[in-house]
Amino acid sequence: MLLTTPAVVLHAFPYLESSRILRLATREAGVQSVIAKGARRARGAQRMTLDLFVEGSAQLYLKPGRDLHTLGGFDLTRTRPGLGADLGRFAAANALGELMLRFVSEEPQPEVFDAFVAALDAVAVAPPGDAASAGLQGAWGLVAALGFGPALEACAVCLAPIPPDADATFGHAAGGVLCPRCAAERGGRRLPAAARDDLRRWTEGLPRPGALDVGTARAHLRLLREFLQQHLHDGRALRAFDAWERDPNGG
Ligand SMILES: [Zn+2]
């Protein structure tokens, strides 16, 4: 079956003498593994540009029951050169790519793909040395599009409202903020009111006002990583996230 779909390159490595194997985020068929035969040998108009995070219209030959499909063509629409121009932007884009690789199956999830490309666009033009805020907004937007956005207004367990200006406790297993009574029973990580306000904006696709200092960025990245690990259940490390957390803005 031939499927033409918007797609973004998440991972690319050489295969045999002249081919490449790619992991693609696609709008119509989730995340797919494809082989681009002869992609490294072709020249001129035949050559497909398949660098990390480029976006294009991909022609996929999908074989039912197979794990590896064939890429017939890739018509480039966006290259986002800004991602490679700043280490912090690249670290954030890598973490967003890792999120796609780990959370998205071969099922079509167009709204997740749309959130992903919007996040890449925002990160690609983030101020140099200050990409963490755009990256966090993109990551929480992706989490919301995946359908497990955290409860932020009311207790995730008993639904008691939590005033917007109050510090709260974040319970990873419960999937959001906890009231004092449920927090005393279950424990969790302290979430200052300002940080909760950031999360609220990011999950709604709104930017946080002002720059994000490194300490606050790290605290946010730790909370996000713990939340993702709680919902992954497979115990594997999130390597790109770990690297991003160590150095949120690329030095
Ligand atoms: Zn409660």
Same domain, 103 and 32: no
Q: How far is the CA of 131 from the centre of ligand 1 (A)?
A: 35
* Total domains present in the chain: 2
Q: Of 78, 95, 125, which residue is a domain's last?
A: 78
* Helix H or strand E segment including 119: helix 110-124
Same domain, 191 and 117: yes
**Is beta strand 55-61 parallel, antiparallel or unpaired with respect to 2-15?**
antiparallel
Q: How far is the CA of 163 from the centre of ligand 1 (A)?
A: 13
Q: How far is the CA of 151 from the centre of ligand 1 (A)?
A: 11
* Helix H or strand E segment including 231: helix 214-232
Q: How far is the CA of 158 from the centre of ligand 1 (A)?
A: 4
The pocket of ion ligand 1, defined by CB under 5 A, consists of 155, 157-158, 160, 179, 182
Burial category of 237 from C-beta neighbours within 10 Å (exposed 0-12, middle 13-18, buried 19 and up): exposed
Is 70 exceeded by the pLDDT of residue 73?
A: yes
Rounded to 10°, the helix 214-232/87-103 angle is 10
Q: How far is the CA of 162 from the centre of ligand 1 (A)?
A: 9
pLDDT tier at 72 (50, 70, 90 boundaries)?
very high
Q: How far is the CA of 180 from the centre of ligand 1 (A)?
A: 7
pLDDT of residue 40: 66
Q: Which positions ≥6 away from 17 have C-beta within 8 Å? A: 40, 41
Q: Of 24, 48, 78, which residue is a domain's last?
A: 78
Write the single-letter amino acid at 72: G
Same domain, 60 and 87: no
Same domain, 101 and 74: no
Q: What is the pLDDT of residues 113-153, one digit of tens each?
A: 999 999 999 999 999 888 999 999 999 999 999 998 999 99
In a domain, 174, yes or no: yes
Same domain, 141 and 37: no
Q: How far is the CA of 226 from the centre of ligand 1 (A)?
A: 21
Same domain, 170 and 89: yes
Q: What range does the domain containing 43 cover?
A: 2-78
Q: How far is the CA of 179 from the centre of ligand 1 (A)?
A: 4
Same domain, 139 and 205: yes
What is the C-alpha to C-alpha distance for residues 216 and 209, in angstroms, rounded to an integer? 13
CATH label of the domain that carries residue 21: 2.40.50.140
Same domain, 125 and 174: yes
Same domain, 134 and 213: yes
Q: How far is the CA of 133 from the centre of ligand 1 (A)?
A: 29
Phi-psi sector, 53: left (phi>0), alpha (psi -120 to 50), beta: left
Q: What integer best gives the mean pLDDT of the chain?
A: 91
% of the chain at pLDDT higher than 70: 96
Q: How far is the CA of 144 from the centre of ligand 1 (A)?
A: 22
Q: How far is the CA of 50 from the centre of ligand 1 (A)?
A: 49
Q: What is the pLDDT of residues 149-183, one digit of tens each?
A: 999 999 999 999 999 899 999 999 999 999 999 99
Q: How far is the CA of 220 from the centre of ligand 1 (A)?
A: 23
pLDDT of residue 217: 94
Termini Cα distance of the chain: 46
Same domain, 44 and 149: no
CATH label of the domain that carries residue 112: 1.20.1440.120
Query: Token pair of 164, please?
Result: 């917007």
Q: Of 26, 43, 78, which residue is a domain's last?
A: 78
In a domain, 251, yes or no: no
Same domain, 31 and 66: yes
pLDDT of residue 47: 63
Q: How far is the CA of 161 from the centre of ligand 1 (A)?
A: 8
Same domain, 53 and 97: no
% of the chain at pLDDT higher than 90: 73
Q: Which positions ≥6 away from 120 have C-beta within 8 Å? A: 8, 53, 55, 80, 83, 93, 96, 138
Q: How far is the CA of 155 from the centre of ligand 1 (A)?
A: 5
**Is beta strand 68-78 parallel, antiparallel or unpaired with respect to 31-36?**
parallel
Q: How far is the CA of 36 from the centre of ligand 1 (A)?
A: 52
Is 60 exceeded by the pLDDT of residue 46?
A: no
